[in-house]
């Protein structure tokens, strides 16, 4: 493999000045960057604006840090640092992808704590703007668009047999398309006949044999089981809407248009409105009035993770899956833009991950912190020996069916606002800096599972945080944090029956507050 020099962004003003003198790569150094010739350095560029990101800027949902520690073999400090870095660098990656356009060659994270973002371009002229954004620059011969075109041509050429060439993906680190094959020599012949640039393809021996993860066997929360027929079990993905219709997305191989679903409790639930498999692997299902959609996914031990958006993760990012078989599992994004060959045919534009999954997890949600990523399609291996999982990105599903992802804030009561008016229950109080208050005066008990929504409005110059807590039988446990940097916070939680209360904390500032909330 050709080793390509990488330009670091450790000291932005100095490196920007040097990068401006870079010259195009020579033919004898493919994919490389020729250092600037020895000459008087250019005048230093103006320092780039730097946004300081602290631990308070990233508030992972309950249970996520613990799962990342365990599944990615990290300390608590490493897991916290990783999420802080990812939150900052994924925004950088999105900006650079838009700026570079057709020259964009991909992006990936490096180091255990995702400290470094590498962004590739087909033009050395893009090096300065990549470095100014705080990323490392790498010059590559092929753009991401070109690599995807090569992968699509291979999809149409290679035999549709998972036992021969089960997986193909764009490997942006190598700037190639990789084919994982149980019969690499045979696959090599097909690659040669396909007419693609052979130097842009790597065929590797592999034991991955993709299979869909469906299995024989009144709140709608991602990761919960649902059934198609008497024994077919899959997992709920993300809650969505289409006009006045509410429902959820899941895997296409779980059912076909017109199929009726029942929920985890075997109560009639919904109907498949559309489904695609193979080619793609996605579906959307409308639900009846007995089921209420919520922007949340199960994260184990009765907890849920709120869904706030759908910002795509890049290669190397940590992500987690909720499924009705394996519950809550975490891993990393390995490659984007992958194709896999199932026994039923090829599915393209999937994301390949190190998450383990098992039959029954199909359709379950994949999430990065609080950002929806996609629904589980299939996998290879299992959670006992380790495995690989592929998911269908959420953006394609939403676009294909004209759906809107349900996110936090959608379930606020009619007339409610950030000023916390319009809630059926309201209480008031006063806090001084460093003080906690608990509301209502007597904790309330919810006899049924359902959605809890709370909102606190404090003084404009203060930072008041809001936490929904549940009694475990031994202690009060925070199940939904709202700890941003303003005096107005909102939390939502899909909860099980039990006793609840709100804790309001004056992190900075003092003064009166209003708490509005709803109960199931």
DSSP symbol at 310: -
Under DSSP, is residue 119 helix (H, G, I), strand (E, B) or coil? strand
From edge to edge, which strands make up the β-sheet containing 304-306? Answer: 219-222, 292-298, 304-306
Instruction: List b or e across 383-412, with b for residues whose CB sees 16 or more CB atoms inside 10 angstroms.
Output: beeebbbbbbbbebbbebbebebbbbeebb
- Establish whether 414 is a catalytic residue: no
| CA–CA separation, 490 and 181 (whole Å) | 49
Catalytic residue among 71, 126, 171, 281: 281
Check if the beta carbon of residue 48 is closer than 8 Å to that of residue 92: no
| H-state helical runs in 235-342 | none
- Establish whether 362 is a catalytic residue: yes
Closest alpha carbon to 454 in 508, 362, 516: 516
**Nearest-10 Cα torsion for 297, 300, 301, 303:** -30
- Establish whether 161 is a catalytic residue: no
Tokens of 86: 């990812």
Catalytic residue among 71, 143, 239, 253: 253
Element at 157 (helix H, strand E): helix 144-157
Q: What is the SS3 assignment for 385-446?
A: CEEEEEEEEHHHHHHHHCCEECCCCCCCCCCCCCCCCCCCEEEEEEECCCCEEEEEEEEEEE
| CA–CA separation, 359 and 339 (whole Å) | 20
Q: What helix, strand, coil percent values describe the chain, rounded to 5?
A: 20, 40, 40
User: Token pair 């059912």 is at which residue?
Assistant: 255
Check if the beta carbon of residue 155 is closer than 8 Å to that of residue 146: no
Closest alpha carbon to 479 in 61, 55, 66: 61
Helix 64-71 × helix 76-100 angle, to 10°: 90
Task: State the sign of the Cα–Cα–Cα–Cα dihedral 170, 68, 83, 461.
Answer: positive
Beta-carbon neighbour count of residue 481 at 10 Å?
A: 20
Check if the beta carbon of residue 405 is closer than 8 Å to that of residue 370: no
Catalytic residue among 362, 368, 377, 380: 362
Q: What amino acid positions are annotated as catalytic residues? A: 253, 281, 362
């Amino acid at each position: 493999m050709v080793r390509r020099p990488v330009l670091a962004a450790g000291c932005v003003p100095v490196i920007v000045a040097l990068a401006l003198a870079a010259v195009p790569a020579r033919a004898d150094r493919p994919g490389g960057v020729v250092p600037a010739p020895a000459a008087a350095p250019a005048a230093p560029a103006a320092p780039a604006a730097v946004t300081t990101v602290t631990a308070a800027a990233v508030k992972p949902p309950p249970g996520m840090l613990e799962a990342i520690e365990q599944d990615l073999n990290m300390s608590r400090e490493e897991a916290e640092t990783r999420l802080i870095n990812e939150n900052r660098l994924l925004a950088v990656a999105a900006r650079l992808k838009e700026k570079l356009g057709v020259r964009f060659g991909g992006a990936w994270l490096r180091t255990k704590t995702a400290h470094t973002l590498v962004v590739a371009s087909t033009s050395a002229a893009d090096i300065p703007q990549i470095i100014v954004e705080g990323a490392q620059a790498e010059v590559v011969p092929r753009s991401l668009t070109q690599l995807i075109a090569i992968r699509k041509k291979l999809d149409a050429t290679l035999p549709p047999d998972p036992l021969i060439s089960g997986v193909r993906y764009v490997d942006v680190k190598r700037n190639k398309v990789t084919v994982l094959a149980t019969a690499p020599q045979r696959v090599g012949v097909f690659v040669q006949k396909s007419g693609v640039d052979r130097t842009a393809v790597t065929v590797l021996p592999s034991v991955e044999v993709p299979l869909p993860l469906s299995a024989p066997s009144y709140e709608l929360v991602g990761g919960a089981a649902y059934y198609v027929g008497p024994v077919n079990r899959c997992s709920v993905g993300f809650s969505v809407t289409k006009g006045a219709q509410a429902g959820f997305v899941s895997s296409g191989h779980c059912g076909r248009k017109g199929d009726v679903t029942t929920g985890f409790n075997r109560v009639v639930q919904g109907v498949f409105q559309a489904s695609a498999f193979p080619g793609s692997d996605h579906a959307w299902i409308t639900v009846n009035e007995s089921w209420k959609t919520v922007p949340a996914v199960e994260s184990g031990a009765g907890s849920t993770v709120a869904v706030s958006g759908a910002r795509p993760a890049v290669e190397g990012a940590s992500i987690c899956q909720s499924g009705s078989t394996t519950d809550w599992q975490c891993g990393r994004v390995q490659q984007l833009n992958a194709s896999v060959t199932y026994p039923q045919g090829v599915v393209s534009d999937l994301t390949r991950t190190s998450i383990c999954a098992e039959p029954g997890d199909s359709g379950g949600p994949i999430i990065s912190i609080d950002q929806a990523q996609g629904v589980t399609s299939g996998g290879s291996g299992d959670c006992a020996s380790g495995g690989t999982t592929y998911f269908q990105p959420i953006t394609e599903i939403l676009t294909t069916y004209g759906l809107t992802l349900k996110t936090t804030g959608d379930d606020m009561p009619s007339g409610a606002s950030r000023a916390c008016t319009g809630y059926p229950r309201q209480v008031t109080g006063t806090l001084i800096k460093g003080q906690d208050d608990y509301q209502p005066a007597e904790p309330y008990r919810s006899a049924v599972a359902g959605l809890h929504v709370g909102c606190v409005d404090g003084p404009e110059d203060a930072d008041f945080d809001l936490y929904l807590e549940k009694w475990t039988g031994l202690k009060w446990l925070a199940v939904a944090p709202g700890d941003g940097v303003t005096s107005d916070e909102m939390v939502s939680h899909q909860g099980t029956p039990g006793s609840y209360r709100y804790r309001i904390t004056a992190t900075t500032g003092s003064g009166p507050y209003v708490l509005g909330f709803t109960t199931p």
